[in-house]
Chain A
């Protein structure tokens, strides 16, 4: 019986640790994804609905790009914070960086759809001299499509099996959850967290 949040198999740190982005979810491989990004000259958009793995993909991408000697600078926007701070903009200027440093830097913008159009034009212009720019957004636009993240009921089943192999929620619960979250698998896993906690509560 689960009585402590840290013992809940769907605790967020467990999800982060046990479910790193796997290109197989999209029928891809890491070399395939990296090749695609290179063909786009490191400028592209990860497109997908809320909770479909865009940020998780960015995290995996960061590790791989750093292994290639590139330096990642990440910015994050959401519905509570839809513009960059003054410090962020100053950082983008890249003052004091030489040409080599500029061409080693790749900028990530997570939540690009939140950025107002005028800011986006400025942002795109300022990041043009960097090695790359990878953004996430819910719909296509802004940059060429790099990859589209998708989810499925099968993915949810697999995630649950990995996080909580001893738990059986039953098909009816899984179907009901998946159909109600519109592809947002993170939300589906939160519902599983609640269900696990409620079952413990009795």
Chain B
């Protein structure tokens, strides 16, 4: 079983639009089973009541030529969308490291927003919103 790790520079997990996310992936793998290298991906996805949407932004391939090792990476973050959460949907940014030919992945979530804090739609909503039981989405 592979051991995978993702670390960002200074362990930062909050970024502003246009900033560069720098980090390092590290692995301990069985080379006999994982000869096709790996990938580091920048993406965002939605989670909540509706279907999950995933948008892949950028991918870097990683040569895995030794059973353990590490490699630095960097992604130039786009201007949007911002990280947010409401009652019906959350938008989450993440970096994922996958060893190809296996289902082994490691994911690190981070926040992308102007002030580095996830936008809380619920906190910023009006107090007299209808009950969510009365709302229909997705169909």
Residues of A within 8 A of B88 (CB): 5, 197
Considering only residues 83-99 of chain B, those with a C-beta below 8 Å from chain A are 85-90, 92
Let me know if A194 and B47 touch, CB within 8 A. no
> In whole Å, how far is B120's beta carbon from the nearest beta carbon of chain A?
7
A-B contact count (CB 8 A): 58
Shortest Cβ distance from B122 into chain A, in angstroms? 6
User: Separation in Å of the A162 CB from the closest CB of chain B?
Assistant: 18
Taking a contact as CB atoms under 8 Å apart, the answer to whether B49 and A201 are in contact is no
A191 adjacent to B90 (CB under 8 Å): no
Total contacting residues, chain B, CB less than 8 A: 21
Quick one: given A3-B120, A3-B122, A197-B87, are A8 and B48 in contact (CB under 8 Å)?
yes
Across the interface, do A201 and B132 meet the contact criterion of CB distance under 8 Å? yes
CB of A190 closer than 8 Å to a CB of B? yes
The answer for the CA separation of A175 and B52 in the assembled complex, in Å, is 29
Instruction: Check B85 against A6 for contact (C-beta < 8 Å).
Output: yes
Taking chain B's interface residues, is the majority helix, strand, or loop, or is none over half, making it mixed? loop
A3 surroundings in chain B (CB, below 8 A) = 85, 120, 122-123
Q: Would A4 and B50 count as touching, CB distance under 8 A?
A: no
Q: Determine which residue in B47, B51, B123 has the highest number of CB atoms from chain A within 10 A of its CB, and name it.
A: B47
- Chain B nearest CB: distance from A152 CB in Å? 23
Majority secondary structure of chain A interface residues (helix, strand, loop or mixed): helix
**C-alpha spacing A185/B49, complex, angstroms:** 14
In Å, the complex CA distance between A61 and B105 comes to 24
Cβ contact within 8 Å between A5 and B133: no
Q: Could you say which residues of chain B place their CB within 8 Å of the CB of A66? A: none
How far is B137's CA from A183's CA once the two chains are assembled, in angstroms?
20
A41 CB within 8 Å of chain B: no
- A-binding residues in B (CB < 8 A): 47-52, 85-90, 92, 118, 120, 122-123, 131-133, 135
Q: Which 4 A-B pairs have the closest CB atoms?
A: A5-B48, A6-B90, A6-B47, A4-B85
